[in-house]
């Protein structure tokens, strides 16, 4: 009897305990999870100077290959290899002995021809009077006039011979057609040179100013022209774009800016690129022909440009870019955007955003679509250090 009562008592106690436990659980309310805190920025339009970086190579402004125009022996070389020469400066002297003799002979022939024509002219003048008086026949007069014409032609030929001989004599002095730096000489004193030879005697290169030949994608060029035509981009004033230069072996910028001269009118079938040419001052000859360089070409400006920090943009598997927007209800959603180019630590966005949009920069790892967040202003550190939101 006592044993049965004990069992009943224990059963009653357990029932009471379980009831109390269940009633306690039913009465406890689960606390809601707080909205995650994220750092945001508000997109504001700003004026932006549009530029593109293009690869290029320096090219001499002018190159003159010096060749002889007459045949002869080099008597003197009148320059120092590697020095600066001026336009019109004599570089070589070719032996002119024979050319002087030919010139003197041509002048003597001209003098003889002039004397002969003088006599013929006087005779023709006398015969004109005599034929009128019937003192000579018409045939004699005609012969005198023909002789005069032949002698005048001989004078013209003699003058041409004098001019040719004088030119050949002048060609024995070889001058520089341009100012610039002269290279090594391929001949020395005593060497025989010939007119129209294929080997140049030396080369003069003008380095100030200097050209930079660039290549640009035809697609990018056509897109820029379309944007300028549609008014999305304001073109450079006067059509002459400013160009700055960096050497490939360093990030050091060339001290003087250049100017874009022209773009080619044909597209390379092999590469799909267009050639552009810029010109740079090069007074100290810091730039030499053949250098690979990077040129930053000013293409225009955008008055209402939208720039997004790179750390706020993520790439989707298909390569497209996207950002997380915070709506008025503080819910986040992913927005696909189109970027034109990188601008320092930012992306220039052309589609997908508008002024006033709030973009998540900090706490990207905490959020998912349609989640309510607690937005605060992003710290200055996150705005200037790429990737800080994911650390």
- Whole-angstrom Cα Rg for the chain: 45
Tokens representing 1 are 């009897």
For position 262, which CATH number holds? 2.40.30.170
Cα–Cα dist 91/68, whole Å? 11
State how beta strands 346-351 and 292-309 pair. Answer: antiparallel
Based on the fold, state whether residues 309 and 238 are members of the same structural domain.
no
Based on the fold, state whether residues 214 and 238 are members of the same structural domain.
yes
Question: What phi and psi, each to the nearest 5 degrees, are found at residue 278?
Answer: -120, 155
Cα–Cα dist 329/349, whole Å? 24
The 3-class secondary structure across 93-120, one letter per residue, is EECCHHHHHHHHHHHHHHHHHHHHHHHH
DSSP state of 331: B
Among candidate residues 277, 257, 368, 357, the one with its CA nearest the CA of residue 40? 357
Buried b / exposed e across 15-46, counting CB within 10 Å, b at 16+?
A: eeeeeeeeeeeeeeeeeeeeeeebbbbebeee
* DSSP count for the chain of H helices, then E strands: 5, 20
Based on the fold, state whether residues 297 and 316 are members of the same structural domain.
no
Cα–Cα dist 312/325, whole Å? 10
What pTM, to 2 d.p., does this model score?
0.66
Based on the fold, state whether residues 102 and 148 are members of the same structural domain.
yes
The 3-class secondary structure across 84-98, one letter per residue, is EECCCCEEEEECCHH
Specify if 158 maps to a domain: yes
Based on the fold, state whether residues 82 and 192 are members of the same structural domain.
yes
Cα-Cα-Cα-Cα torsion 105, 107, 112, 117, nearest 10 degrees, comes to 140
At 11 the pLDDT is 54
- Terminal CA-CA length for the chain: 72
Specify if 12 maps to a domain: no
For position 107, which CATH number holds? 1.10.287.470
Q: Cis ω on the peptide bond leading into residue 233 (within 30° of 0)?
A: no
Specify if 374 maps to a domain: yes
Residue 36 contacts residue 53 (beta carbons within 8 Å): no
Which of 301, 320, 336 terminates a domain? The answer is 301
Cα–Cα dist 261/14, whole Å? 97
Based on the fold, state whether residues 76 and 190 are members of the same structural domain.
yes
Based on the fold, state whether residues 280 and 212 are members of the same structural domain.
yes
Cα–Cα dist 362/311, whole Å? 9
Count up the domains in the chain and report the number. Answer: 4
Among candidate residues 263, 285, 281, the one with its CA nearest the CA of residue 180? 285
Who contacts 175 (Cβ-Cβ below 8 Å, separation ≥6)?
88, 89, 90, 91
At 347 the pLDDT is 87
Based on the fold, state whether residues 189 and 216 are members of the same structural domain.
no
At 391 the pLDDT is 35
Specify if 26 maps to a domain: no
Among candidate residues 66, 54, 73, 390, the one with its CA nearest the CA of residue 216? 54
How many CB atoms are closer than 10 A to CB 120? Answer: 20
Specify if 24 maps to a domain: no
Specify if 126 maps to a domain: yes
Three-state SS at 54:
strand
At 10 the pLDDT is 47
Based on the fold, state whether residues 345 and 277 are members of the same structural domain.
no
At 238 the pLDDT is 61
Greatest distance between any 2 Cα atoms in the chain:
193
Based on the fold, state whether residues 193 and 228 are members of the same structural domain.
no
Report which secondary-structure segment, H or E, holds 379: none
At 366 the pLDDT is 86
Which of 301, 327, 357 terminates a domain? The answer is 301
Based on the fold, state whether residues 214 and 294 are members of the same structural domain.
yes
Report which secondary-structure segment, H or E, holds 132: helix 97-132
For position 331, which CATH number holds? 2.40.420.20
pLDDT along the chain (391 residues), means of 10: 48 53 50 82 86 88 95 96 95 96 95 91 86 83 87 92 95 96 94 93 94 85 70 64 79 83 77 87 90 86 85 86 90 89 83 90 87 84 45 35
Which of 276, 301, 326 terminates a domain? The answer is 301
Question: What phi and psi, each to the nearest 5 degrees, are found at residue 224?
Answer: -65, -45
At 171 the pLDDT is 96
Specify if 15 maps to a domain: no
Q: Residue 185 is part of which domain span?
A: 68-88+181-199
Residue 260 contacts residue 278 (beta carbons within 8 Å): yes
């Amino acid at each position: 009897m006592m044993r049965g009562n004990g069992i009943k008592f224990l059963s009653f106690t357990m029932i009471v305990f379980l009831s109390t436990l269940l009633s306690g659980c039913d009465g406890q309310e689960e606390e809601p999870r707080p909205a995650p805190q994220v750092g945001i920025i508000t997109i504001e339009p700003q004026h932006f100077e549009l530029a593109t970086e293009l690869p290029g190579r320096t090219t001499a402004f002018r190159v003159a290959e010096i060749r002889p125009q007459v045949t002869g022996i080099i008597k003197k070389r009148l320059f120092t290899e590697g020095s600066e020469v001026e336009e019109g400066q004599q570089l070589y002297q070719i032996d002119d002995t024979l050319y002087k003799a030919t010139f003197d002979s041509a002048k003597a022939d001209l003098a003889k021809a002039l004397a002969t024509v003088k006599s013929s002219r006087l005779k023709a003048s006398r015969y004109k009077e005599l034929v009128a008086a019937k003192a000579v026949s018409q045939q004699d007069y005609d012969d005198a006039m023909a002789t005069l014409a032949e002698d005048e032609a001989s004078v013209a030929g003699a003058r041409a011979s004098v001019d040719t001989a004088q030119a050949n004599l002048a060609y024995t002095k070889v001058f520089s057609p341009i100012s610039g730096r002269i290279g090594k000489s391929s001949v020395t004193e005593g060497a025989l040179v010939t007119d129209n030879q294929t080997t140049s005697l030396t080369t003069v290169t003008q380095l100030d100013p200097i050209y930079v030949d660039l290549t640009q994608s035809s697609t990018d060029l056509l897109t820029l022209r379309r944007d300028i035509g549609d008014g999305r981009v304001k073109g450079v004033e006067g059509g002459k774009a400013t160009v700055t230069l960096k050497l490939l072996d360093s990030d050091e910028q060339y001290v003087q800016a250049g100017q874009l001269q022209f773009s080619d009118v044909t597209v390379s079938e092999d590469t799909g690129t267009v050639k552009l040419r810029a010109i740079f001052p090069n007074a100290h000859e810091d730039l030499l022909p053949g250098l690979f360089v990077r040129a930053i070409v000013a293409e225009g400006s955008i008055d209402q440009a939208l720039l997004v920090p790179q750390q706020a943009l993520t790439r989707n598997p298909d390569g497209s870019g996207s950002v997380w927007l915070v709506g008025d209800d503080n819910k986040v959603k992913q927005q696909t955007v189109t970027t034109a180019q990188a601008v320092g630590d930012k992306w220039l966005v052309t589609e997908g955003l508008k002024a006033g949009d709030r973009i998540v920069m900090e706490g990207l790892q905490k959020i998912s679509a349609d989640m309510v967040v607690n937005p605060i202003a992003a710290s200055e550190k996150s705005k200037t250090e790429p990737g800080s939101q994911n650390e």
